[in-house]
Amino acid sequence: MLLKDESVNVVKKAILTLTQLYKVALQWLVRSKVVSELQEACWDMVTQMKEDVLALLDSDNDGVRTHAIKFTESLIITLSPRVPDSDIPRKQEGDISLDKVPRDHPYIRYDTLCEEGKAALEQLLKFMVHPAISSINLTAALGSLATIARQRPMFMSEVIQAYETLHANLPPTLARSQVSSVRKNLKLHLLSVLRHPCSTEFQAQITTLLLDLGTPQQDIARCLPAPRDLRKRPRHEAEPSGKKIKIEPSLVEDDEDKDLEPAPASAPKPSSAPGAHTAIDVTADFLLPLLTPENVANLVLISMVYLPDSMPASFQATYTPVESAGTDAQIKHLGRLMATQMTAAGIGPVRGLQTNPSVDLTLVFLSACVDTLSPLIPLSLSLSPFLHLLLLLSLTLSFHLCPPSSVSLHPSVPPLPLSFRLSVSLSLPSSGVEQMKTREEDSGKECAAEGEMGAESRADSVLIKRRVSAVSLGQAISVLGGYQAGKSQAADEEGAGAPQAKRLPEPILPSAQAKLFTKLVLEAPLITESALEVIRRYCEDESRVYLGMTTLKELIMKRPSRQFQYLHVLLDLSSHEKDKVRTHALTFIKRMYEKDQLRDYIEKFALNYMQLLVHPNPPSLLFGADKDTEVAAPWTEETVRQCLYLYLSLLPLNHRLVHELASVYTEAIADIKRTVLRVIEQPIRGMGMNSPELLLLVENCPKGAETLVTRCLHILTDKVPPSPELVERVRDLYHKRVPDVRFLIPVINGLEKKEVIQALPKLIKLNPIVVKEVFNRLLGTQHSEGSSTVSPLTPGELLIALHNIDSSKCDMKSIIKATNLCFGERNVYTSEVLAVVMQQLMEQNPLPMLLMRTVIQSLTMYPRLGGFVMNILSRLILKQVWKYPKVWEGFVKCCQRTKPQSFSVLLQLPPPQLTSVFDRCPELREPLLAHVHSFTPHQVRPLAPVLQSPQLPMPSPVLSITIIINFILYTPLKVASQSALQNDNNK
């Protein structure tokens, strides 16, 4: 099919054609009372093509994805009913829509088409919020959603919510200029939606978004729908409702059709039922009462811990001052922004609400943390529910004291950084320490209250529970910043019955020296899990990372019974989010890799991590969870790199691993493939082009890994010429298995001259950027490190080869663009090179079609070639240039541009051809006449033979001047010259 063609332009045209073809096919079936087998087969094929185009939203090409977005927009509009408020462009007034499809059609079902339209909308919405979406695709998606909202107001709620989500979560891959462009487009589309009469119910949300985007209030006011439009809407609402009542009896038994029946009255109103709310709505309703000035101030103080030292450029580009801070509208907008980001992270009370709609939202939201961390927060802390939640979350994310609760916030919650500190915003009251001191006393009282046989064991259980709680409380105090106060209180009360206060856990060896720490660890008879966790934290501390990893390395080498357990900790750190930690871990692992007893384990770990890339979504293992299960979050560049850090560091050490990368690459999705192609440069360069395994990969290129192999070839030959072995492998691959000319580009300087000339027609039809790279390699401008590369073609031979390309193998437009690239290299194509090229082209028979174009361009670049060009023109007259129409046309243009130098050339033309010149360029007549008037009789005599008939004797010089002047003044020349010669003979 054309939708799967190798040419991107063909695929784009196919998508554009199908956009109209789908409407025509649907209209054809709707108008047919009896559907034939041919029509059924036709519709099935169109439906399949529709699915193929929707799948192209995941294409590797930006342009194809943009066309797929526009097709999806058209599909949604076609498969949804028009309503009276639909804003239909005049060109689309006759287009088919869902309201024109009869419900009793013999083949196509109304409800099925409606569901397909909604599914397409959901797919478009998911595509738009993808974190790796490009700026071009995002701009197209924004425009499509605005069009859908105007033409199908029933979807306006989803569109506005999508705009809110995008505004709160701009893709991190966008550059600063792209962020500004996206925000500008978002503002324009919001204004266009605001003009629609059905936007009335969403004016508050749209207005707040526009103010955030920096839109002046007067611009917003101008775009509000006119009052007359608002007055019309009740009439639009009343009429369809009456019609609906009339047809309801016939739909009582068909629940699906009844639910899917279009309501053309207006955009859907928010329902009071919880089930009608979206996740963002529910979370926003939960947050609004908590957004008090006190809570917001505390939240700001807490978040200040995470602020970077300097303002990020992306934030500076998108920030606009808040004009209406503190107003109800702004508070609601803030709540929705927070709800949008929390929903995107998988946090919110929606799950509990769906299970038990009557439960209190605050309790639902807190329950997941309270179940596991309630011992950590003393009851004496006078915290509001909001700050209570923040403290619980901070402890969860900072220490991971307990296994994940059975009541999870959301299966796709990603881990946050492990450096959450609340000391800047919260202080621990002294009652917290007092409560801690009395815990054991309370536990004794609880035991005494037990009057059953198991009281003793119950007492032990309670005591253990309280002591663990006390330790946890000590960690909480450290986090809250009250550790010093607690320590001083414990010191003051020492000997006064405060044994529990002594058990406050101190920070991990704050003053220990490196030698003492390493000696303590290595001489310990047993390294417990908690001790290993201490070592791990040392490794994660950037100020102590080298000490921690050195100690861990010593454990691996000196404790063989548990070396794989220690090695696993080091391997885990190879994908750490901190660059310094990760770099040190990879350095130590590469040293460990040299040990034979550890090599297999390290290799297996790296390959298992890379194999995670074949999953459609990143496994929870990448987010710190214990189980390897998929989460709803999409793959990002960071998660892909996380799976590849260790593998790529081992690749230069073990070249055999490259084949595993190829097998994973063929199964990965497009986003992962793009990231892989970006990150493999250094490892592949480290392998070198003489690697036997790399040559074997090129020779046995797996199906689906062509782009990976091509990328490897480009990396290897970017700075150095290709080796003969590599050229031979690529040549065999091209001729025997994959006839894609792009394989030849990296090794083009290693090919024979004949092979390059044969491949030129295919090469110059590629993308202009690719053609530029090809010419850079051939012209020697590619390698900037002084490498001596010998091109199979000289610059002159390349330009001549382009002129000699058969127009049946390549279109003339591509050839002209290729020659322009040559002329763009002024340092390569000097006047001497171009003179040789023109000389050789002029000597060819037949003359190349682009000869005169090259002559004119050469003269434009180097005006000093004027004399040489005049010589070329004179020699072209001897070759009867007028027999080649295209070349003759260029000849005349060249003479026109080079006047008066070209007058001597023009006077060498035979009379009919000179007449043709005057016909094409009448403006040459007068200057040429003036030029002839200035001739002396001696100068005229050499020109007379041009005008003389073979049967007549040579005229006198005076008469020759007369003949030339008469020829220039009067045409045709033949009559004038013959008359003049006859008069001369009579005399």
Q: pLDDT tens across 545-599, in order?
A: 888 899 999 999 988 888 899 999 999 999 898 999 999 999 999 999 998 999 9
Same domain as 381, residue 434: no
pLDDT above 90 covers a percentage of the chain that reads 29
Q: Report which DSSP code applies to 434.
A: H
More confident residue, 48 or 478: 48
Please report whether residue 604 resides in a domain: no
Res 227 pLDDT > 90: no
Residue in 587, 741, 699 with CA at minimum distance from that of residue 6: 741
Res 2 pLDDT > 60: yes
Same domain as 110, residue 23: yes
Same domain as 551, residue 486: no
CA 255 to chain CA centroid, Å, is 42
Q: Residue 411, SS3?
A: coil
Same domain as 437, residue 366: no
Res 215 pLDDT > 70: yes
**What span, in angstroms and rounded, lies between the C-alpha atoms of 788 and 752?**
17
Please report whether residue 541 resides in a domain: yes
Q: Report which DSSP code applies to 11.
A: H
**pLDDT confidence of residue 440:** 43
Please report whether residue 40 resides in a domain: yes
Centre a 10 Å sphere on the Cβ of residue 948 and count the other Cβ atoms it contains.
16
Please report whether residue 918 resides in a domain: no
Q: How far is CA 693 from CA 177, 657, 700, 715, 924, in A?
A: 42, 9, 10, 16, 69
**pLDDT confidence of residue 664:** 93
**What span, in angstroms and rounded, lies between the C-alpha atoms of 369 and 409?**
8
Domain that holds residue 469: 430-447+456-502
Res 39 pLDDT > 80: yes
The tokens for 215 are 């839109």
Among 543, 558, 592, which residue terminates a domain?
A: 592
Same domain as 385, residue 296: yes
Q: How far is CA 69 from CA 52, 79, 619, 752, in A?
A: 13, 15, 29, 44
More confident residue, 628 or 586: 586
Residue in 570, 639, 633, 638 with CA at minimum distance from that of residue 598: 570
Res 874 pLDDT > 60: yes
Residues 524/497, Cβ–Cβ less than 8 Å: no
Residue in 120, 140, 103 with CA at minimum distance from that of residue 253: 103
Instruction: Indicate the pLDDT class of residue 314, thresholds 50, 70 and 90.
Output: low
Instruction: Indicate the pLDDT class of residue 649, thresholds 50, 70 and 90.
Output: very high
**pLDDT confidence of residue 485:** 37
The tokens for 260 are 């899917």
Same domain as 583, residue 467: no
Please report whether residue 726 resides in a domain: no
Same domain as 106, residue 55: yes
**pLDDT confidence of residue 363:** 44
The domain total for the chain is 5
Same domain as 108, residue 93: yes
Res 468 pLDDT > 90: no
The CATH number of the domain where 45 resides is what?
1.25.10.10
Q: DSSP readout, 870-924?
A: HHHHHHHHHTTGGGSHHHHHHHHHHHHHTTTTTHHHHTTS-HHHHHHHHHH-GGG
Residues 705/665, Cβ–Cβ less than 8 Å: yes
**What span, in angstroms and rounded, lies between the C-alpha atoms of 896 and 922?**
10
The arithmetic mean of pLDDT across residues 453-464, rounded, is 44
My answer on whether omega of the bond before 885 falls inside 30° of 0, hence cis, is no
Res 899 pLDDT > 50: yes
Identify the weakest region by mean pLDDT among 567-576, 865-874, 906-915.
Answer: 906-915
**pLDDT confidence of residue 615:** 87
Among 95, 128, 161, which residue terminates a domain?
A: 128
The arithmetic mean of pLDDT across residues 877-884, rounded, is 90
**What span, in angstroms and rounded, lies between the C-alpha atoms of 678 and 666?**
16
> pLDDT tens for residues 924-944?
888 888 887 777 776 666 555
Same domain as 517, residue 492: no
Among 468, 487, 502, which residue terminates a domain?
A: 502
Please report whether residue 654 resides in a domain: no
The tokens for 617 are 């979504």
Instruction: Indicate the pLDDT class of residue 492, thresholds 50, 70 and 90.
Output: very low
Please report whether residue 484 resides in a domain: yes
Res 461 pLDDT > 60: no
**pLDDT confidence of residue 906:** 86
| Mean pLDDT score across all residues of the chain | 74
**pLDDT confidence of residue 972:** 42
**pLDDT confidence of residue 340:** 76
**What span, in angstroms and rounded, lies between the C-alpha atoms of 834 and 848?**
15
Residues 858/869, Cβ–Cβ less than 8 Å: yes
Write the single-letter amino acid at 671: D
Q: DSSP readout, 570-630?
A: HHHGGG-SSHHHHHHHHHHHHHHTTSHHHHHHHHHHHHHHHHGGGSSS-BGGGGT-SS--B
Residues 17/5, Cβ–Cβ less than 8 Å: no
The tokens for 108 are 């196509």
Residue in 289, 335, 83, 292 with CA at minimum distance from that of residue 197: 83
Report CA Rg, the chain: 40
Same domain as 441, residue 466: yes
Res 169 pLDDT > 60: yes
Same domain as 115, residue 36: yes
Residues 804/784, Cβ–Cβ less than 8 Å: no
Residues 977/967, Cβ–Cβ less than 8 Å: yes
Question: Which of 296-300, 420-424, 457-461, 926-930 ranks highest by mean pLDDT?
Answer: 926-930
Same domain as 435, residue 464: yes
Please report whether residue 241 resides in a domain: no
